[in-house]
Amino acid sequence: MSTLGVEEEYLLLDPDTGENAPVAGDVLAALPGELREQSRPEFRRSMLEMVTPVCTSLAELRGHLSVMRRAAATAAARAGARLVPVGATPVAEPDRTPTDDPRFHAIARHYGPIAHDPALCGCHVHVGVPSRAEAIEAGNHLRPWLPVVQALAVNSPLCEGVDTGFASWRSVQLLRWPSLGPAPHHDSPAGYDRTVAALVASGAMLDESMVLWYARPSATFPTVEVRVADVCPAIGDTVLVAALVRALVETAREGHEAPVVPDELLRAAHWNAARTGMDGTLLDPRTGQARPAWQAVDDLLTHIGPALRRLGDRGTVETELARIRRDGTGAARQRRLLTGGIDAVLAELAVHSSPPSALNSRSGVSPSL
C-alpha cells in the first residue's frame, strides 16, 4: 500500500476586517512542540503551512488533519487572528513583506512584482514511490486526470471582497509564475533534469527548486507531489483529494503506457476547471471534447476503481463525492454564503479549523462548508 501525506497552507485573517494578518511567527511560537515540528514558515507572514506525518490509511490522515487544524486555530486565536482554509486572499493583504528568510528574499528579488501578489494557499498531496523514475512516470499518467481533481477542490472564488467569476482564483493568479501548470511529458529522469536545467539557464526560474508543476518528483521526499488543489475548506475534501491522487498513482504503477496529451489542451482543461469547478463542463484532454463535469468524475472513478478497491478507499471516496454532489464544491458553498456578506463566508470557513470549544461557543453557525 502506497504511503501518503498532505501539506496544507492556511491564511491568517484579522477577525474584524477579514484582511490578512502578518502574525505567522506568533502562531508558530504558540503551537505545541510536536506540532511546531510539523509546521513551516511560508513565503508570506499571513500564511501557515502544516504537514501531516506519513500515513497509510485515509482514517489516519483524517485524524492528523483534525489535530493539526485545531491546534493551529487555537494558536491563531491566541495571536489575535482567525485561521481560515481558503485558496486565495479574500479581502486584502496590506502587508506583503516576505517572511524574513534569505531564500524568500531571493525569490522576491528574482520574480519582482508577481512575488508580491496577494497570498495563496494550496493543498499538496505526496504519495510514496520507490524511485524518482517512477515518480516521473506517475506524473505522466496523472496529466489528463488532474483537471478533474482540480475542479473538485476549487475553493477560492473571492478577491477584494467580491466574486471573481472563477471557482479557483488561486489557479488564475498562479499562472503568472513560470514553470507552473501541467508538467510536460518526460521520458526519463535525465529528460526531466534537462528541461529543468534549460528553464534555469533561460532565467525564467531562479533555480531548480522553483519547479512548480502540478505533478513533480518531490525534491525532499521519495514521493510524487501533486500541487493542483486549493487548500480545502473541510477535512473531508482534503481526504478525498488525497485518496484520488493516491489511487491515480497506484493505477499508473500498473504499467500501462501513459497517454501523451498536447500541452495546450491540458492548459485549457485546467483553465476551465478553475473557471467553472463542478458547475459546468470539463474538457477531456484525451479527446478534446467538453463533457459534463460529473461525467468526467465518473470516468475518473472507472479508471481508478481497481486501485480504490485494493486500497480499501472506495467507500470513503464515494461518500465524499456524494457530499460534494449534494452540497457543492468549496467555491459553490462560499458563493451561497456570500449573500450574507463576506464575514459570513470567513466565519463559516473558520469553523472547519476551530477547536471544539470555539465551535460550541458559536451560536447560529453550522458547519455547512
Tell me the C-alpha distance between 67 and 63, whole Å: 6
Residues of the chain with pLDDT under 50: 355-368
Q: What nine digits make up the cell of 48? A: 501557515
CA atoms within 13 A on the CB side of 81: 28
Q: Give me the helix-helix angle, 342-351 and 330-337, nearest 10°.
A: 130
DSSP state of 120: B
CA angle 124, 95, 344 (to 5 degrees): 65
Tell me phi and psi for residue 262, to 5 degrees.
-55, 135
The CATH number corresponding to 4-361 among 3.40.50.920, 3.30.590.20, 3.40.630.30, 2.70.98.20 equals 3.30.590.20
Distances (CA, A) of 342 to 20, 96, 158, 345: 14, 22, 9, 5
| C-beta atoms surrounding 132 within 10 Å | 16
Q: How far is CA 158 from the centre of its chain?
A: 16
For residue range 126-185, what is the model confidence (pLDDT) as tens digits? 999 999 999 999 999 999 999 999 999 999 999 999 999 999 999 999 999 998 999 999
Tell me the sheet residues that pair with 291.
282
Task: State residue 364's pLDDT score.
Answer: 31
- Tell me the average pLDDT of the chain: 93
Tell me the C-alpha distance between 33 and 156, whole Å: 31
Task: State residue 369's pLDDT score.
Answer: 55
Q: Where are the domains of the chain?
A: 4-361
- SS3 sequence of 88-103: ECCCCCCCCCECCCHH
pTM: 0.94
Matching residue, cell 458547475: 279
Contacts of 189 (CB under 8 A, 6+ apart): 132, 133, 136, 217
Q: Would strands 215-217 and 223-230 be described as parallel, antiparallel, or unpaired?
A: antiparallel
Buried b (16+ CB within 10 A) or exposed e, 20-44: bbbbbebbbebbeeebbebbbbbbb
Q: What DSSP letter does each residue of 195-243 carry, written as one string?
A: HHHHHHHHTSSSSGGG-EESEEE-SSSSEEEEEEEEPPSSHHHHHHHHH
Task: State residue 255's pLDDT score.
Answer: 80
